[in-house]
Amino acid sequence: MVLKPALRVENVNYHIEKHHILSGVSFDVPQGQIFGLLGPNGAGKSSLLNAISGLTDFDGDVFWRDESLRRLSAQQRAKQLAVVHQTNTPIFALTTEQVVAMGLLPHKSLLSRHSRHDKKSVSQALDYVGLQHKRTQAFSALSGGEQQRCLIARALVQQASLLVLDEPVNHLDVYYQHQILGLLKTLAKTQGKTIVISLHDLNLASKYCDTIGVLQRGQLRAIGAPETEITHELIQHVFSVDSDIRTSTKDGRIKVDLYPNLEGHSSSRSEDVLL
């Protein structure tokens, strides 16, 4: 069955001066699916996510439910799309609850205050990500995984149906990596959220993403289901690393073992030199 796309990225080009960061990137994501963006450092993953989120100017267009996100005002866009990325640590001690409540902002006019319903939705979001007991703690005092969960709770309060996450499991230990991605999977399945996420770990991508896109030097090299797209050749070509790929007997997902050839590892990969 072909699912109707909810998010449509059309021919996105982005350059800084003469340097091309993204060239003709196009892909679709159906509603309720997780799209994983893979690729080496400097491939353009963050730039692509910023383009989708409306944080950079670019050529091309991004449609959400047939409506161009570029033509929406920042506030209208924030009602449709929530972004979770590495944030600055606030200089003043905002509490976890106050950070989550920021998600209400796109739905509020200058004069409105938080209603009882708003407080309830903040509390529900905190429950959902398991941070209720830390609601009065300073956001900056939370662990990396807790901060990510707090920002996901903020996205829930924002009531956006499209979530964009830039490397949400970087710097997290194995337990939190699976906890965060498991949470996103549940959100996609139970609440129909469409999720675009950038990842470095091929095994996590294979386990949690419905579709992956592999970026190299600003172009999509592969797009499709992880089990068909993640191949020995692709990994060799994009990451310059040897690999062994097998299918897990436990969950039927593919598992990748990497064998990097680091002889003379002071030299860089070909694309690093080019970039």
Partner 1 sequence: MKFKWILLVVLAIAAPIGSLFFGAASLSVQDITVCLVEQCSSVVSESIFWDIRFPRVMVGFLVGSALAISGATLQNVTRNSLADPYLFGVVSGAGFGASIASLLFANETFLAAPIPPEVKPFLLPMFAFTGSLLAVLLVRSIASSSLGGRIEHMLLAGIAVSFMLSALTHFLLFIGDPYATNQVIFWLMGSLSRVDTAYMWGLLGIVMICTVVLILLGPRLDALLLGDESAQTLGVNVQQLRMLCLIVCALLTAVVVAYCGGIGFVGLMIPHIVRRWFGVTSRRLMLGCVLLGGIFMVWVDVIARAAVPNQEIPIGIITSAIGSVFFLLAMRKT
Asked if 93 touches partner 1 (CB under 8 A), the answer is yes
Asked if 215 touches partner 1 (CB under 8 A), the answer is no
Write down the least CB distance from residue 52 to partner 1, Å. 11
User: Which residues does 253 contact at the CB level (< 8 Å), separation at least 6?
Assistant: 206, 207, 226, 227, 247
Q: Which CB atom, from 105 or from 225, has the smaller least distance to partner 1?
A: 105
User: Which residues does 235 contact at the CB level (< 8 Å), separation at least 6?
Assistant: 202, 241, 242, 243, 256, 258
Of 221, 226, 161, 171, residue with least CA distance to 195:
161
Q: Which CB atom, from 197 or from 202, has the smaller least distance to partner 1?
A: 197
Name residue 249's amino acid: T
Structure tokens that stand for 173 in this block? 């230990």
Write down the least CB distance from residue 102 to partner 1, Å. 5
Near partner 1 by CB under 8 A: residue from 51, 83, 205, 209 = 83
Write down the least CB distance from residue 247 to partner 1, Å. 38
Query: Cα-flanking dihedrals φ and ψ of residue 246, to 5°?
Result: -140, 165
Near partner 1 by CB under 8 A: residue from 1, 91, 262, 274 = 91
Structure tokens that stand for 239 in this block? 């990451």
Asked if 206 touches partner 1 (CB under 8 A), the answer is no
Burial of 205 (0-12, 13-18, 19+ CB in 10 A): buried
Give residues 102-161 in contact with partner 1 (rule: CB under 8 A): 102-103, 105-106, 108, 110-111, 158
Q: Point out which residues pair with 145 in neighbouring strands.
A: none
Give residues 19-78 in contact with partner 1 (rule: CB under 8 A): 53-55, 73-78
Of 107, 108, 87, residue with least CA distance to 96:
87
Asked if 193 touches partner 1 (CB under 8 A), the answer is no
Q: How many residues lie near partner 1 (CB under 8 A)?
A: 31
Q: Which stretch binds partner 1 (CB under 8 A): 24-32, 91-99, 118-126, 204-212?
A: 91-99
Q: Which CB atom, from 118 or from 210, has the smaller least distance to partner 1?
A: 118
Give residues 151-190 in contact with partner 1 (rule: CB under 8 A): 158
Angle between helices 116-128 and 144-157 (to 10 degrees): 140
Write down the least CB distance from residue 1 to partner 1, Å. 33
CA dist list (Å): 214 to 158, 167, 194: 29, 14, 18
Asked if 85 touches partner 1 (CB under 8 A), the answer is yes
Q: Which CB atom, from 16 or from 111, has the smaller least distance to partner 1?
A: 111
Q: Which helix (H) or strand (E) holds 164?
A: strand 162-166
Q: Which CB atom, from 94 or from 223, has the smaller least distance to partner 1?
A: 94
Residues lying near partner 1 in the complex (CB under 8 A) are found at 53-55, 73-79, 81-83, 85, 87-88, 90-94, 98-99, 102-103, 105-106, 108, 110-111, 158
